[in-house]
């Protein structure tokens, strides 16, 4: 059986409370007493039972992080950042993935998978406002990655539209005139929708074609989706001189197809992605990409959860994390290695 406070108290010949005081670094304990108790603790190898402590004070020290897909390096890198940010506050992270499916995202938001958590950070792909409006679960919820939720939840956003526009402008600045968009099925309020919008706005601002013929939608966000979409576009007879993909994996899949078809990147087709995943920095052609500040996102998200736990009773807050466009070979050519 595991050793409890009582055992230590017995051993040290003091009361449970005194042991508890020592364990919790309570101020008013005489050094002599502290030493005596500490010795008993060491001898017995006592470790506090966190479950009991949490039953008592209502906290578990765990926050859940629910992401669409850990296999996507963007989310893996983000998860890493969240684990570190949480560790800085003595919190640990329970990880879940939703597959980006709406029902799963709803389940998670209602806490059906994890009833032990103090807070939840959710990065939704499909979830709509109305899916969350009936939320009854009490633990603080922080939303990630979107910008148009109109709900009473804290929200760490990135400015998808502005970022997409910056990427497209970069392509236009390089003299490209036929910029295709590759990316997940744009549905209302989803990241893909905002990124197409940015693409469309920037082209429109430049007086260029943003017709549907230049958009190749994908079912998902993986390499293979990008490869298929690119192939479809080319098979349809389009020969854009630039491609903006709604994430890096799609961009990399597209580059793969371009190379198979004998098209050079960036000479024939310039390619830009979104996420700045490590993978993009090591391909045969390094990938130009919009780079969200993942560490900042993680920090803000964790801070928001803890803030709510500390009883902050303020209106829902929307914070925007920084973004940088990192220009690499897929748009600038080899000279631009980075």
Q: Which residues pair with 323 in a beta bridge?
A: 292
Cβ-based nearer residue to a second copy, 169 or 281: 281
Partner touching 333 among a second copy, DNA, none, CB below 5 to 8 Å by kind: none
What whole-number distance in Å separates Cα of residue 285 and Cα of residue 127? 35
When asked if residue 38 is in the footprint of a second copy (CB under 8 A), the reply is: no
When asked if residue 32 is in the footprint of a second copy (CB under 8 A), the reply is: no
DSSP 25: T
When asked if residue 4 is in the footprint of DNA (CB under 7 A), the reply is: yes
Cβ-based nearer residue to DNA, 5 or 66: 5
Angle between helices 294-309 and 73-87 (to 10 degrees): 50
When asked if residue 205 is in the footprint of a second copy (CB under 8 A), the reply is: no
Q: Pick from 6, 89, 187, 239 the residue near DNA by CB under 7 A.
A: 6
Span near a second copy by CB under 8 A; candidates 26-34, 86-94, 158-166, 237-245: 86-94
Span near a second copy by CB under 8 A; candidates 106-114, 120-128, 200-208, 238-246: 106-114
Q: Pick from 16, 33, 107, 114 the residue near a second copy by CB under 8 A.
A: 114
**Nearest Cα to 96, choosing from 83, 114, 78?**
114
Q: Pick from 25, 28, 90, 314 the residue near DNA by CB under 7 A.
A: 28
**Nearest Cα to 210, choosing from 178, 163, 252?**
178
Question: Residues with Cβ < 8 Å from 308, sequence gap 6 or more?
Answer: 119, 140, 142, 154
- State the nearest-atom distance from the C-beta of 114 to a second copy, in Å: 5
Span near a second copy by CB under 8 A; candidates 11-19, 89-97, 165-173, 183-191: 89-97
When asked if residue 331 is in the footprint of a second copy (CB under 8 A), the reply is: no
Q: Pick from 10, 38, 44, 53 the residue near DNA by CB under 7 A.
A: 53
- State the nearest-atom distance from the C-beta of 25 to a second copy, in Å: 17
Burial class (CB in 10 A: 0-12, 13-18, 19+), 265: buried
Q: How far apart are the first and last CA of the chain?
A: 57
What whole-number distance in Å separates Cα of residue 172 and Cα of residue 58? 55
**Nearest Cα to 72, choosing from 216, 244, 275?**
275
Query: Which two tokens mark 170?
Result: 């970069």
Q: Which residues pair with 66 in a beta bridge?
A: 96, 122
Is the Cα dihedral 188, 198, 289, 333 positive or negative? Answer: positive
What whole-number distance in Å separates Cα of residue 91 and Cα of residue 86? 5
Q: Pick from 35, 39, 55, 71 the residue near DNA by CB under 7 A.
A: 55
When asked if residue 5 is in the footprint of DNA (CB under 7 A), the reply is: yes
When asked if residue 113 is in the footprint of a second copy (CB under 8 A), the reply is: yes
Residues that bind a second copy (CB under 8 A): 2, 45, 47-52, 54-55, 60-62, 69-71, 73, 76-77, 79-80, 83, 87, 92-97, 111, 113-116, 136, 138, 222-224, 227, 249, 252-253, 255-256, 259, 278-279, 281-285
């Amino acid at each position: 059986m595991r050793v409890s406070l009582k055992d230590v108290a017995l051993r040290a010949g003091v009361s449970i409370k005194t042991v508890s005081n020592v364990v919790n670094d309570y101020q008013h304990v005489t050094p002599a007493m502290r030493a005596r108790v500490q010795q008993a603790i060491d001898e017995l190898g006592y470790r506090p039972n966190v479950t009991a402590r949490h039953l008592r004070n209502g906290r578990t020290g765990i926050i859940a992080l629910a992401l669409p897909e850990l296999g996507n390096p963007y989310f893996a890198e983000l998860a890493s950042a969240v684990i570190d940010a949480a560790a800085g506050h003595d919190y640990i992270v329970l990880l879940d993935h939703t597959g980006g499916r709406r029902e799963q995202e709803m389940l998670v938001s209602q806490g059906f998978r994890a009833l032990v958590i103090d807070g939840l950070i959710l990065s939704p792909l499909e979830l709509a406002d109305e899916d969350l409006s009936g939320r009854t679960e009490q633990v603080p919820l922080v939303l990630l990655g979107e910008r148009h939720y109109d709900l009473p939840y804290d929200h760490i956003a990135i400015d998808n539209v502005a970022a997409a526009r910056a990427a497209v402008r970069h392509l236009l600045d390089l003299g490209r005139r036929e910029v295709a968009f590759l990316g997940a099925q744009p549905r209302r309020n989803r990241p893909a929708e905002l990124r197409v919008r940015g693409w469309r706005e920037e082209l429109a601002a430049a007086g260029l074609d943003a017709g549907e013929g230049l958009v190749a939608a994908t079912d998902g966000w993986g390499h293979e989706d990008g490869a298929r979409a690119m192939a479809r576009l080319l098979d349809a007879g389009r020969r854009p001189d630039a491609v903006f993909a709604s994430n890096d994996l799609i961009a990399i899949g597209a580059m793969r197809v371009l190379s198979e078809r004998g098209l050079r990147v960036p000479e024939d087709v310039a390619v830009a992605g979104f996420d700045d995943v490590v993978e993009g920095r090591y391909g045969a052609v390094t990938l130009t990409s919009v780079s969200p500040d993942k560490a900042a996102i993680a920090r803000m998200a964790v801070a928001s959860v803890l803030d709510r736990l500390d009883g902050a009773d303020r209106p829902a807050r929307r914070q925007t994390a920084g973004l940088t466009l990192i220009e690499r070979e897929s748009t600038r050519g080899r000279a631009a290695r980075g």
